[in-house]
C-alpha cells in the first residue's frame, strides 16, 4: 500500500510572528515575552506558578514555557524577578494544562 506523507505545515512569514501580528491586545510589559509557537499559536512565555520557587537569576529563562495569550490574560500574571508567573497548571511530561479553544494559530 502506498503511504503519502502528511502535508507540510503552513509556513508563516516571519513578519507574522511578532506581537503586532496578534489581533487582540497584548499588554506592553508582556510584549517582550511574546512568541509564536507552531502548535500553540500566539503565546506569552510564562513561568508556571508551581515552579516559582525555582526562579533564580541563572535559570529563570529555562523555566519559561509558552502559553496561549488568551489563557495568560484570563489567569493573570504576577512578576517575580522580572519574569511573568501565571497560575497555569503544569502537568509533568505533558506541559501546560490549557484549554484547546485558547489556541490561536
Tens-place pLDDT, residues 4-35: 445 444 434 445 678 888 889 999 999 999 99
Residue 37 falls within a domain, yes or no?
A: yes
- Distance between terminal CA atoms of the chain? 34
Residue 98 falls within a domain, yes or no?
A: no
pLDDT at 65 over 90: yes
- Stretch 84-88: mean pLDDT: 96
* Domain tally, the chain: 1
- Determine the structural domain holding residue 35 and report its residue range: 14-86
Taking a C-beta distance cutoff of 8 angstroms, is the pair 63, 56 a contact?
A: no
Residue 96 falls within a domain, yes or no?
A: no
Residue 25 falls within a domain, yes or no?
A: yes
Rounded to whole angstroms, the maximal C-alpha distance in the chain is 57
Task: Specify the pLDDT at position 5.
Answer: 47
Residue 66 falls within a domain, yes or no?
A: yes
Distance in angstroms (rounded) separating the CA atoms of residues 62 and 95: 14
Residue 68 falls within a domain, yes or no?
A: yes
Task: Specify the pLDDT at position 71.
Answer: 96
Q: Please, which pLDDT band fits residue 105 given cuts at 50, 70 and 90?
A: confident
Measured CA distances, 97 to 2, 35, 66 (Å): 37, 18, 11
Amino acid at each position: 500500500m502506498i503511504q503519502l506523507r502528511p502535508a507540510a505545515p503552513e509556513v508563516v512569514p516571519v513578519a507574522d510572528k511578532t506581537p503586532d501580528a496578534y489581533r487582540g491586545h497584548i499588554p506592553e510589559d508582556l510584549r517582550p515575552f511574546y512568541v509564536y509557537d507552531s502548535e500553540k499559536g500566539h503565546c506569552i512565555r510564562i513561568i508556571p506558578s508551581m515552579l516559582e520557587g525555582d526562579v533564580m537569576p541563572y535559570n529563570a529563562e529555562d523555566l519559561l514555557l509558552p502559553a496561549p495569550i488568551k489563557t495568560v490574560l484570563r489567569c493573570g500574571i504576577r512578576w517575580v524577578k522580572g519574569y511573568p508567573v501565571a497560575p497555569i497548571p503544569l502537568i509533568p511530561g505533558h506541559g501546560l494544562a490549557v484549554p484547546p479553544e485558547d489556541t490561536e494559530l
